[in-house]
Amino acid sequence: MSRAPVVILACGNPSRGDDALGPWLLERLQNWLLAAGLDERFELIVDFQWQIEHALDLAGRRLALFIDAAQGTPAPFVFSRLDAADARIPSSHALPPAALLAVLARLGNQAAPPAFVLAVRGDKFELGDGLSTGARRHAEQAFELLTELCLAPWPAAWRPLCSPSVAPVE
C-alpha cells in the first residue's frame, strides 16, 4: 500500500483551550476532504505534541504541513515555509517541526519533503477551557487557507501563499 503524497500533522491538547486549534482544524479538514473526494491524496495525523517518531511519517512524501496553535503569532495565523534545523532533544521527547525534518534526513539519508507550517493565533491555553471566540475566528480564516492548499498540493503553489516578512515558526 502506497503512502499519500501529502502528510498533514497537527498537534495540540483539546483540554487546554486554544491549544485545541490544531486537532480542531484537522478534524474539520478531514470531513472536507472526504466530501470533496480528496481524502486519498492526504494522510492526516494528530497528536498532543510532535515526537521523534513523527519523522518517519514524513518519509516518502511529496509535501508536508504542520498545524499548531501559537501564542504571540500575528492574527489570524502565520503560514511559512520550513527548513530542516537540528535541535536539542528535550527531556519530554517533543520536537519542533524543523527538527523532525532534520531527523528524517539523518535516519535514512533521504531528503525531507518540502514542508510548511501553519501557526494559528491562540490566546487562552488554560486547562479545561474551550476554544476562545478569537481563536474560532482565526481558525475559520485558517480553514479557508487549508482548503486552498489542498486544492493545489504542490510546493510551487504553496510558496506564494506564505506570510510576508515573518520568520518561520518552529
Per-residue pLDDT of the chain (170 residues; tens, 9 = 90+): 578 999 999 999 999 999 999 999 999 999 999 999 999 999 999 999 888 888 888 888 999 999 999 998 899 999 999 876 655 544 344 678 878 877 877 776 677 899 999 999 999 998 888 899 999 999 999 999 999 999 999 999 999 999 886 544 44
User: Is 166 inside any structural domain?
Assistant: no
Tell me the three cell numbers of residue 45: 495525523
Tell me the three cell numbers of residue 131: 476554544
User: Is 130 inside any structural domain?
Assistant: yes
Q: What pLDDT, on a 0 to 100 scale, did the predictor assign at position 166?
A: 52
Number of domains in the chain: 1
* DSSP element (H, E) containing 28: helix 21-36
Ordered DSSP codes for 69-98? EESSPPSSEEEEEE-----PPPTT-B--HH
User: Is 26 inside any structural domain?
Assistant: yes
Query: What number of H helices and E strands is found in the chain?
Result: 4, 5
The one-letter amino acid at 139 = A
> Which CATH number covers residue 14?
3.40.50.1450
User: Is 98 inside any structural domain?
Assistant: yes
Supply the range of the domain harboring residue 145. Answer: 6-161
* Whole-number Å distance between alpha carbons of 68 and 33: 19
User: Is 167 inside any structural domain?
Assistant: no
Any bridge partners for residue 11, and if so which?
Answer: 47
Nearest one of 126, 120, 119 to 17, comparing CA atoms = 126
User: Is 58 inside any structural domain?
Assistant: yes
User: Is 74 inside any structural domain?
Assistant: yes
User: Is 55 inside any structural domain?
Assistant: yes
| Helical axes 133-151 vs 21-36, angle rounded to 10° | 40
Q: What pLDDT, on a 0 to 100 scale, did the predictor assign at position 86?
A: 55
* Whole-number Å distance between alpha carbons of 7 and 108: 18
Q: How buried is residue 133: exposed, middle or buried, by Cβ count under 10 Å (0-12/13-18/19+)?
A: exposed
